Chain A
Amino acid sequence: MYNNFLQLDEVRYAEDKEPLGFEYMRLGLNDVLYDSKTKTVYTPNMNALANLDGSGLTSDEVRGIMELRKKMNWVKGSKGRFAGSVPMGGGAISDDSDKTIKLEKGEYAKIVSEINTNYRKYDGKRICYHFSYWKNNFYTYKFINNGFDDYRFIGKWS
């Protein structure tokens, strides 16, 4: 029953006890449901549906957005630790070093944790992609893999 291949009343039947009439199936909120026929992913705790067939990820998203912002607030240091704040308006920088990737702190912690958990998938790869969700939207995060728990994010798309 714990692994969902038996339901409550089935177990009670096997134990020769009266059924409770409990007709619900238990689904963990930690799991998403993938329909291999329609190539859609349903996330129960968000009531969100995403297509993985190349036609789009969610119905109302804006595609192809890479969040490149001016410097502000906190900066990530080595090994993902905070490295203080970046001064605002600290002089004009006109080349690509002016670009930054903006992530919310909770988002960053969640994504890094997920990558760490699934690190086997990324082990040995220099440039990696991680598909996840944050605040009701699905995103793909692109990062340079410097080893376990040492990731340099270089892109994010919804």
Chain B
Amino acid sequence: MEELEILLKGVSDSYSDFVVGVMAEARSSPEKLDELIAFIKNNPEATTSDIGEWTAVNIQGIDLENPPELVLVDDEPEES
């Protein structure tokens, strides 16, 4: 994960939310970590959007042309 963090911070248009978010994605699918690192290394010009797109397809399994629908539900009571 440390290597991934360094790579993410080195992306040309990197920002902190992006680093935190992609690392959370990687933690959710540790079996994809090496692939993700390889993608970033093999595509040094990749932008944050390129990487976000890669994780959407390869980790989340999302078709970006047909993304998941957002469902808004009533606010739930806050836990004390």
Interface residues, chain A, with chain B CB atoms under 8 Å away: 52, 54, 57, 63-66, 68-69, 71-76, 82, 86, 96-97, 99-108, 121, 125-131, 135-136, 140-142, 144, 152-155, 157-158
Question: Are A64 and B28 interface neighbours, CB within 8 A?
Answer: yes
**A152-B15 contact given A129-B21, A131-B20, CB 8 Å threshold:** no
Question: Are B67 and A100 interface neighbours, CB within 8 A?
Answer: no
Instruction: Name the B residues within 8 Å of A75 (CB-CB).
Output: 69-72
What are 22 A-B interface contacts by the 8 Å CB criterion?
Answer: A54-B1, A54-B5, A71-B69, A73-B73, A74-B71, A75-B70, A96-B63, A100-B70, A103-B72, A104-B75, A105-B72, A105-B73, A108-B70, A128-B18, A129-B20, A140-B17, A140-B20, A141-B21, A142-B25, A153-B70, A154-B64, A155-B25
**A140-B24 contact given A126-B53, A127-B48, CB 8 Å threshold:** yes
Number of A-B contacts (CB under 8 A): 147
Task: Name 20 extra pairs, CB < 8 A, besides A96-B63, A140-B21.
Answer: A63-B27, A73-B73, A75-B69, A96-B61, A99-B62, A99-B68, A99-B69, A101-B70, A104-B75, A108-B70, A128-B17, A128-B49, A128-B52, A129-B17, A129-B21, A129-B48, A130-B17, A131-B17, A142-B25, A152-B70
